Amino acid sequence: MIGTLCCSTIQLPHLAATRGLEFLQFSPAVLLALPAWFSWNPVLPYVTAVLLLVVGVSLAIKKAPPQANWLDEVLLCGPVFIGVPMVLFGLDHYFFPVAIGQIIPAWIPAHTFWVYFVGTCLLLGGLSIVFQKYAWLSAGLFGVMLLCFEALMNIPAVAAEPHSRMIWSLCVREFSFSWGALSFAARHTQEWRAKGTHWLIIIARNVLGIALSFFGVAYLLHPKLLPGVPLEQLTPNFIPAHSLWGYLTSVVYIVAGVCILLNKKAHLAAKWAGLFVLFTVILFCVPYMLQFPSDIGKGLNVPADTLVLSGAILCLAGSLREKPASSLRSE
């Protein structure tokens, strides 16, 4: 009896997702409107990304005070740049459950359950941040979840292959995402409202300072990598002077990382570094994505990853203000 109940619980998210997609794909009403070759993957992630970005950015900018300039408005969009990719990553868990399940360590039971459970958490948490409903709580839980991933998967992977640049980059990337989200959550504590600082933000500043410096060195050694997050993607040949952009990214990351790490003009450095990463999303990652429009892993996930880095740095910049801004007290 107990075994049957546990098995049913594990399969419930999978069945719900499968039946939901089957309904969308095969219900008579939908079939009358959609051709037989239509697939919700990758149409749904692309449409979702555009709609949520428009809605999230609009809601964030509305909270800007009248005297705010355009850079202050971009700063307020930092949480949105974390929330929208969270939704997209959550959809990945439903579209590619087998591939994602293979990432989970073998000693953890019920892989299928965890794939759909984490996917659901990402979907709900991302929507919470975009629509600004308990956004601080969702960001904090997202940060804690990524720290769990670090302990369970990324750190053991680094220990197993310490000479792999790719594994190190993935580990540093997850740490930067996590602490950027946690710095946003810390802004909603009584300590931050009273003192303008918090111990979580101090850790986040050091982590992101180290991460940017690490990424800067990676681009210095491998300038042909796609600007944003130094993984395995190369800057497309149709982008002129593609190696030059790698060196420019290296300089920006190292200078910003050192300033943030030493707490010298850290707020200003984080603000402009986050804006620079946002530019890399628009100028490099989106053109790269367009080469693989039907492959989410090679396409949409590339700008989504880099957008989270931009959001993490912008969230840190917002948390490094000496005094709480009136627009942030009301969040």
Which of 88, 75, 33, 16 minimizes the C-alpha distance to 278?
75
Mean pLDDT estimate for the chain? 86
> How far does CA 161 lie from the centroid of its chain?
25
pLDDT over 60 (residue 8): no
Condensed to tens digits (0 to 9), the pLDDT of residues 144-181 reads 999 999 999 999 999 999 999 999 999 999 999 999 99
Report the SS3 class of residue 309. Answer: helix
pLDDT over 70 (residue 122): yes
- Residues forming a β-bridge with 234: 225
pLDDT average, residue stretch 85-109: 93
Report the SS3 class of residue 225. Answer: strand
Q: Can you tell me the distance from the alpha carbon of 127 to that of 251, in angstroms, rounded to the nearest whole number? A: 35
pLDDT interval class at 39 (50, 70, 90)? low
Q: Can you tell me the distance from the alpha carbon of 247 to that of 224, in angstroms, rounded to the nearest whole number? A: 9
Q: Can you tell me the distance from the alpha carbon of 158 to that of 155, in angstroms, rounded to the nearest whole number? A: 5
State the pLDDT at residue 35: 56
pLDDT average, residue stretch 308-331: 73
Question: Which residue type, as a one-letter code, is found at position 84?
Answer: V
Q: Can you tell me the distance from the alpha carbon of 92 to that of 298, in angstroms, rounded to the nearest whole number? A: 12
| C-alpha separations of 194 from 190, 285, 314 in Å | 6, 39, 21
pLDDT average, residue stretch 28-33: 44
pLDDT interval class at 37 (50, 70, 90)? very low
Q: Among 53-57, 146-150, 260-264, 288-292, which stretch is predicted with the lowest mean pLDDT?
A: 288-292
Q: Can you tell me the distance from the alpha carbon of 146 to that of 179, in angstroms, rounded to the nearest whole number? A: 9
Report the SS3 class of residue 103. Answer: coil
Compute φ and ψ for 106, nearest 5 degrees: -65, -30
pLDDT average, residue stretch 186-204: 89
Neighbours of 176 (CB within 10 A): 26
State the pLDDT at residue 298: 78
Please, which residues have CB within 8 angstroms of residue 74's CB and are 6 or more apart in sequence? Answer: 274, 275, 278, 314
pTM for this predicted structure: 0.85
**CB of 136 closer than 8 Å to CB of 184:** yes
For tokens 């804006």, name the residue: 275
pLDDT over 80 (residue 183): yes
- Counting beta carbons within 10 angstroms of the beta carbon of residue 233, is it exposed (0 to 12), middle (13 to 18) or buried (19 or more)? buried
**DSSP secondary structure of 228-253:** SS-SSPBPPTTSTTHHHHHHHHHHHH
Q: In the chain, what are the helix, strand and coil shares in percent, each to the nearest 5?
A: 75, 0, 25
**CB of 208 closer than 8 Å to CB of 270:** yes
- 139: tokens are 């960001």
